[in-house]
């Protein structure tokens, strides 16, 4: 959290963020827009990404002197939750990751274009599935780059000695292949080529940026499951069987209560992790453990809630035409981004032991 903001100011900033999100990507979701963008390159609306840049969202975490808003992770998680609930396919979190790295090396030209939403710079950091570490291997293909087909350039971290050199590689010269994702977007695989060195950062700066992206993704999953639950409750209240709403059946009420508990636990875990990182005083092991706990819980809970919602909708829920299926597809993609639940559980166990020592 910015030192200039007290709790009341942070609450007001968070409220305004949620309201601005409702104006661009309503929580209820424009599901016709989502369907129209599915499997159509680049998989998102560049105009809407520009609108997000105009709102200052891409630079939300950057200090004001770098062109940002200087807000903390509590505010970011609130925004990510709203966009998750709206099923927004725009790659805001990956763009924010790139903004953090570009700001760290004072790369003004690409940073200005990224913050405005006029250009999309994506960081090609991942070399293995279900990972949250960037080895920076020079020749290794970079995997699972979200919505890579819409990028104007790629930021490629390459280890050099004790640091990470950042290479800016224009999209037009990139050796890039695209694969469709379950939610209708695209993942890119990039083979690093000739890029322009723009600076060097410590591995810790990149690691911290990835931690924030993982926590923001957990918040997006929270939005997905929360809106899924809302739609499911509406269905249970209106769907009639044997002359009464099926939501009046005790067995279904129990299942709904269990899902609500999972959502509440995820929300508490994400809020606790965001507050801990905003304070900035906890040891690295404790911070990493908090992020892993939140991401593992959100990934597991989102898959449980969305799958159960499909079942509670009955046969129609299993069809692609049913809007509820869009939430399951989104959860399937987000659950493994910036580390799967299994990876984060392993890391939580390791970091918790280190913190206790």
Q: Check pLDDT > 80 for residue 6.
A: no
pTM, to two decimals: 0.94
User: What residues are paired with 131 via a beta bridge?
Assistant: none
Which among 84, 82, 53, 80 is positioned nearest to 69, based on CA atoms?
A: 53
CB 220 within 8 A of CB 80: yes
Other CB atoms within a 10 A radius of the CB of residue 80 amount to 30
Other CB atoms within a 10 A radius of the CB of residue 64 amount to 11
Q: What is the pLDDT of residues 110-156, one digit of tens each?
A: 999 999 999 999 999 999 999 999 999 999 999 999 999 999 999 99
What is the pLDDT, as a whole number, of residue 209? Answer: 98
Q: What is the pLDDT of residues 45-59, one digit of tens each?
A: 999 999 999 999 999
Q: Check pLDDT > 80 for residue 83.
A: yes
CB 195 within 8 A of CB 153: no
CB 104 within 8 A of CB 199: yes
3-state helix, strand, coil in the chain (%, to 5): 60, 15, 30
CATH of domain 205-356: 1.20.140.10
State mean pLDDT over 348-357. Answer: 74
Q: What is the pLDDT of residues 198-253, one digit of tens each?
A: 999 999 999 999 999 999 999 999 999 999 999 999 988 887 667 777 666 677 88
Please report which confidence band the pLDDT of residue 11 belongs to, taking 50, 70 and 90 as the band edges: confident
What is the pLDDT, as a whole number, of residue 94? Answer: 98
What is the pLDDT, as a whole number, of residue 1? Answer: 40
Residue 211 vs residue 23, higher pLDDT: 211
What is the pLDDT, as a whole number, of residue 239? Answer: 75
Q: Check pLDDT > 90 for residue 77.
A: yes
Q: Is the peptide bond before 347 cis (omega within 30 degrees of 0)?
A: no
State mean pLDDT over 293-304. Answer: 98
Q: What does the alpha-carbon distance between residue 129 and residue 115 come to, in Å, rounded to a whole number? A: 28
Q: Which of 212-216, 243-247, 335-339, 350-354 has the lowest mean pLDDT?
A: 243-247
Contacts of 7 (CB under 8 A, 6+ apart): none
Q: What does the alpha-carbon distance between residue 202 and residue 11 come to, in Å, rounded to a whole number? A: 33
Q: Check pLDDT > 90 for residue 5.
A: no
What is the pLDDT, as a whole number, of residue 3? Answer: 43
Please report which confidence band the pLDDT of residue 354 belongs to, taking 50, 70 and 90 as the band edges: low
Q: Check pLDDT > 60 for residue 355.
A: no
Q: Check pLDDT > 70 for residue 357.
A: no
What is the pLDDT, as a whole number, of residue 286? Answer: 96
What is the pLDDT, as a whole number, of residue 2? Answer: 46
Mean pLDDT of the chain, nearest integer: 93
Contacts of 301 (CB under 8 A, 6+ apart): 221, 225, 262, 263, 265, 266
State mean pLDDT over 53-81. Answer: 95
Q: What does the alpha-carbon distance between residue 60 and residue 66 come to, in Å, rounded to a whole number? A: 11
Q: Which of 247-251, 270-274, 323-327 has the lowest mean pLDDT?
A: 247-251
């Amino acid at each position: 959290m910015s030192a200039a903001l007290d709790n009341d100011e942070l609450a007001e900033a968070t409220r305004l963020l949620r309201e601005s999100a409702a104006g661009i990507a309503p929580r209820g979701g424009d599901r016709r827009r989502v369907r129209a963008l599915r499997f159509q390159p680049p998989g998102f609306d560049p105009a809407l990404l520009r609108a997000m840049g105009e709102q200052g969202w891409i630079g939300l975490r950057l200090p004001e002197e770098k062109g940002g808003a200087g807000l903390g992770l509590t505010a970011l998680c609130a925004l990510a939750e709203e966009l998750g609930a709206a099923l927004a396919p725009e790659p805001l979190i990956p763009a924010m990751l790139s903004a953090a790295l570009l700001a760290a090396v004072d790369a003004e030209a690409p940073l200005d274009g990224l913050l405005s939403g006029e250009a999309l710079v994506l960081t090609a950091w991942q070399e293995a599935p279900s990972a949250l570490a960037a080895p920076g291997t020079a020749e290794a293909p970079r995997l699972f780059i979200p919505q890579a087909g819409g990028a104007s350039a790629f930021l490629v971290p390459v280890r050099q000695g004790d640091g990470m050199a950042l290479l800016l590689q224009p999209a037009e010269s990139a050796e890039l292949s695209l694969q469709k994702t379950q939610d209708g977007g695209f993942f890119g695989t990039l083979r690093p080529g000739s890029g322009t060195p723009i600076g060097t950062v410590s591995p810790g700066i990149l690691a911290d940026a990835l931690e924030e992206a993982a926590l923001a993704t957990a918040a997006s999953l929270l939005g997905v499951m929360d809106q899924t639950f809302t739609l499911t409750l509406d269905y249970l209240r209106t769907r009639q069987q044997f002359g009464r709403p099926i939501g009046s059946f005790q067995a279904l009420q129990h299942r709904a209560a269990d899902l609500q508990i999972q959502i509440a636990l995820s929300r508490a875990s994400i809020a606790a992790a965001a507050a801990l990182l905003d304070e900035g005083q906890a040891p690295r092991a404790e911070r990493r453990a908090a992020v892993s706990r939140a991401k593992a819980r959100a990934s597991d809970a989102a898959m449980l809630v969305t799958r159960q919602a499909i079942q509670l909708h009955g046969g129609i829920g299993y069809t692609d035409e049913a809007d509820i299926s869009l939430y399951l597809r989104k959860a399937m993609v987000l659950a493994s981004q910036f580390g799967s639940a299994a990876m984060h559980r392993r890391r939580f166990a390791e970091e918790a032991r280190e913190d206790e020592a």
